[in-house]
């Protein structure tokens, strides 16, 4: 009996599958495990792109008027721009705005990469959506109420507004701390004058936008709150050093990075104690060293509008764009004037052709742009109609829930 049992054990051991063999299939004929690919689809896509297509993805442009005209069509068809920003000059009413957005998307059918379609929608006085929509309160008003849920709801409603037109990016919220009473440009665009309140409410607005699949672009790094010059007009200079920034202005941005912000806009501000030569928007010390290395941000960096007075009154716009990319920016924003938009694109193309921008540096930014478009599953699908009334119901419900908004906003 003992001998019989021993023989059965030996036979069972011989028939058992060896480690790593498929126990239910013949090892020669059974299903094989899938081969894991080491290739990155985005890297593969970049290898197929022309120089013009790559440079185009690093530019977001403005539009001349209410329609998709020859200039904007040229920016798409000839220069393959990565996206557009809609300004007040582009918006007359909801129907016209929807037609413009849909037209841009249809024109971009010649390209395989969908467009970023952005707007400045902060609430308060910085509002671009058509007048058919109820007013969104300013950040300052939201800060006075100081309610995280309200801030999230505001971000979500703005996201719904933008999504209803087929937009996919908002240049907001503002993470500047309004610390200088003489500041001519921020003021009620900020949630408040302390880092805590700006961080708390700014993050919730950002998360509300993202919940609607809208890319939130926080601004204006490294902080526009302590300036006394409007960068739309001239170049602000701020004497704060890195210690001060780390302990104050950078705190909301650091929190945004920890909470997975996708895009940060860099301001046209000169900080001579950090970089005495270049404004933040094309300063390697500020973008590559502070933002990328110290703060560990590997998302998309976009400049503020290169046609603002801070740049065009002091620098050649093409040279500034090239410097910005080499400093670590990924997208150059050019909001006005087709000649300036074309000059920026051509300067960047020439810089790559001559080696002033290396191909590795170019591809690095193209990768970040394409990865972000993939993350948000962007497409150029058109939107058939827009319904302001359904969104207005939600805005009006906010005023009912927070009566202080009524007093401060709907005057």
Poorest-pLDDT segment among 190-204, 229-243, 388-402 = 229-243
pLDDT of amino acid 381: 96
Parse the chain into domains and list their residue ranges. Answer: 55-404
Proportion of the chain above pLDDT 70, given as a percent: 86
Cα–Cα nearest to 366, from 137, 112, 51, 147: 51
Residue scoring higher pLDDT (12 or 394): 394
Please give the biggest Cα pair distance in the chain.
102
Q: Provide the terminal-to-terminal Cα distance of the chain, rounded to the nearest Å.
A: 100
pLDDT of amino acid 387: 93
CA–CA gap between residue 296 and residue 396 (Å, rounded) = 40
Cα–Cα nearest to 331, from 279, 266, 255: 266
pTM, 2 dp: 0.88
pLDDT of amino acid 28: 43
Per-residue pLDDT band for 405 (boundaries 50, 70, 90) equals confident
Dihedral of CA atoms 256, 232, 268, 341 in degrees, nearest 10, equals: 100
Annotated catalytic, 232? Answer: yes
CA–CA gap between residue 110 and residue 120 (Å, rounded) = 27
**Alpha carbon separation from 3 to 7, 8, 12, 13, 15 (Å, rounded):** 6, 9, 15, 16, 19
Residue scoring higher pLDDT (165 or 26): 165
pLDDT of amino acid 248: 94
Residue 296 Ramachandran class (φ > 0 left, ψ -120 to 50 alpha, else beta)? left
Q: For the segment 324-368, what is each residue's pLDDT rounded down to a tens digit?
A: 999 999 999 999 999 999 999 999 999 999 999 999 999 999 999
Annotated catalytic, 304? Answer: yes
The one catalytic residue among 64, 232, 337, 363: 232
CA–CA gap between residue 283 and residue 296 (Å, rounded) = 17
Q: For the segment 173-205, what is each residue's pLDDT rounded down to a tens digit?
A: 999 998 876 665 677 889 999 999 999 999 999
Q: For the segment 44-83, what is each residue's pLDDT rounded down to a tens digit?
A: 999 999 999 999 999 999 999 999 999 999 999 999 999 9
Cross-strand pairs, 174: 219
Per-residue pLDDT band for 370 (boundaries 50, 70, 90) equals very high
CA–CA gap between residue 335 and residue 306 (Å, rounded) = 7
The one catalytic residue among 120, 262, 275, 304: 304
pLDDT of amino acid 121: 93
Residue 316 has pLDDT above 70, yes or no: yes
Residue scoring higher pLDDT (240 or 38): 240
Instruction: Name the strand (E) or helix (H) holding 339.
Output: helix 338-354
Q: For the segment 209-232, what is each residue's pLDDT rounded down to a tens digit?
A: 999 999 999 999 998 766 655 566
CATH class of domain segment(s) 55-404:
alpha beta
pLDDT of amino acid 187: 77
DSSP structure string for 314-346? TS-HHHHHHHHHHHT-SBEEE-S-HHHHHHHHH
For residues 382-408, average pLDDT? 89
């Amino acid at each position: 009996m003992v001998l019989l049992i021993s023989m059965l054990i030996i036979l069972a051991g011989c028939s058992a599958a060896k480690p790593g063999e498929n126990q239910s299939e013949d090892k020669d004929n059974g299903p094989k495990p899938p081969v894991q690919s080491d290739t990155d689809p985005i890297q593969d896509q970049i290898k197929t792109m022309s120089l013009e297509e790559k440079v185009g993805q690093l530019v977001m442009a403005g539009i001349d008027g209410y329609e998709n005209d020859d200039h904007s069509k040229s920016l798409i068809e000839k220069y393959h721009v990565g996206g557009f920003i809609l300004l007040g000059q582009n918006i007359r009413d909801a129907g016209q705005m929807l037609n413009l957005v849909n037209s841009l998307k249809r024109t971009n059918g010649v390209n395989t990469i969908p467009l970023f379609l952005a707007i400045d929608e902060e609430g308060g006085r910085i509002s671009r959506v058509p007048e058919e929509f109820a007013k969104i309160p300013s950040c300052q008003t939201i800060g006075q109420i100081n309610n995280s849920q309200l801030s999230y709801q505001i971000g979500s409603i703005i996201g719904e507004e933008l999504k209803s037109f087929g937009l996919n990016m908002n240049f907001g919220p503002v993470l500047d701390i309004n610390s200088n009473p003489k500041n001519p440009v921020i003021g009620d665009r900020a949630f408040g004058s302390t880092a805590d309140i700006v961080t708390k409410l700014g993050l919730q607005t950002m998360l509300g936008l993202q919940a609607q699949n809208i890319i939130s672009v926080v601004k204006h790094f490294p902080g526009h709150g302590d300036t006394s010059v409007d960068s739309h007009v001239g170049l602000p200079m701020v004497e704060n050093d890195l210690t001060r920034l780390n302990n104050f202005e950078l705190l909301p941005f650091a929190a945004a990075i920890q909470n997975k912000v996708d895009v940060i806009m860099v301001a046209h501000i000169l900080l001579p104690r950090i970089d005495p030569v270049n404004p933040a928007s094309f300063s390697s010390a500020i973008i590559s060293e502070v933002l990328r290395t110290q703060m560990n941000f590997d998302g998309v960096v976009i400049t503020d509008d290169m046609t603002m007075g801070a740049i065009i009154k002091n620098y050649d716009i093409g040279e500034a764009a090239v410097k910005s990319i080499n400093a670590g920016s990924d997208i150059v924003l050019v909001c006005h004037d087709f000649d300036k938009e074309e000059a920026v694109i051509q300067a960047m193309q020439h810089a790559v052709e001559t080696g002033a921008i290396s191909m590795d540096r170019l591809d690095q930014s193209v990768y970040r742009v394409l990865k972000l478009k993939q993350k948000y599953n962007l497409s150029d699908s058109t939107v058939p109609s827009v319904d302001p009334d359904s969104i207005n119901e939600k805005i009006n419900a906010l005023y009912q829930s927070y009566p202080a908004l009524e007093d401060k906003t709907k005057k």
